[in-house]
Structure 1
């Protein structure tokens, strides 16, 4: 993922992935290539760091089970709470009950949608950005 162009040029790095693929940590560095006119991290970088993560995690969880699914980010909303002047981190996590509900819905209806949330947090604990992503899964 770190070679994905929006990540590579935006100072975005996946720094940890859970062995069960139910979570990961992504860091956005404040740097020269992702600054806006105010010297803070560009909002597009903050969103692009979070955009594919839940979809990729679901895709990999089900691929590990030998199940082919198509996964899309159906919609997203971003709330910028504070200017980002330092690095921030997103801690993504998918609860086991959400995976179980997805599995059941895929078996019964062939599709599943879920809204998931993540916050971008500065080193001092301040929440700088909140993102809600609606992920859509469909059986192949």
Structure 2
């Protein structure tokens, strides 16, 4: 079964860590190049001084670039989160959101840099904004991307074994 954006949105919104933190995926584009996530301030994600807990702000941004790359590059690629950091710029109050976008130039650079099987570490970032559009935090993500090496299929492996067997008999 193919993971459609609609099904992904439903599953992510029901995922216990996001559900418990109040993180909601608002939209996933049909081409997986645009995702919007929101987080309402509530008792369970507020810190000691009454603003968004920093861990919740980071959590709301964690998996999305990896998912977007996996869906856009396909099964021929290995994609992992390698590193992440967050710069807190101002207290987050009310509902905050993040909009992840992935453009063709980024995908082309990844494909070009991994064409020979080399790893590539693209650096992406997303802003977390409040209801007034002011940036509350900026999240920096480094991903690990490598094109999978081609393995001989079952037919080629069987043919090779037959050749080896015929040569020794």
When the two structures are superposed, what TM-score results if normalisation uses the length of structure 2?
0.76
| Alignment partner, residue 29 of structure 1 | 40
Give the one of 11, 15, 19 matched to 1:8. 19
Q: Quick check: which one's strand share is greater?
A: 1
What are the equivalent positions in structure 2 for 1:1-140 lying under 5 Å apart? 1-63=12-74, 67-140=75-148
Residue segments in structure 2 that go unaligned for 5+ positions in a row: 1-11, 149-169
Which one is further off, 82-91 or 107-116?
107-116
Which of structures 1 and 2 has the larger relative contact order (alpha carbons within 8 angstroms, sep 6+)? Answer: 1
Q: Matched residues in 2 for 1:104 and 1:20: separation?
A: 20
**Higher helix proportion (structure 1 or 2):** 2
Q: How far apart are the structure 2 equivalents of 1:69 and 1:3?
A: 27
> How far did 1:25 drift?
0.5
Larger Rg: 2
Structure 1 consecutive aligned stretches of length 4 or more whose deviation exceeds 4 Å: none
The 8 Å contact of residues 78 and 130 in structure 1, kept in 2 or not, is answered as yes
RMSD, aligned α-carbons: 1.3
**Structure 1 unaligned regions, length at least 5:** none
CA contact (8 A) 1:6 1:45 kept: no
CA distance in 1, matches of 2:115, 2:41: 43
For residues 27 and 90 of structure 1, the distance between their equivalents in structure 2, rounded to whole angstroms, comes to 6
Kept in 2, the 8 Å contact 1:111–1:137? The answer is: yes
What is the TM-score of this pair, normalised by structure 1?
0.91
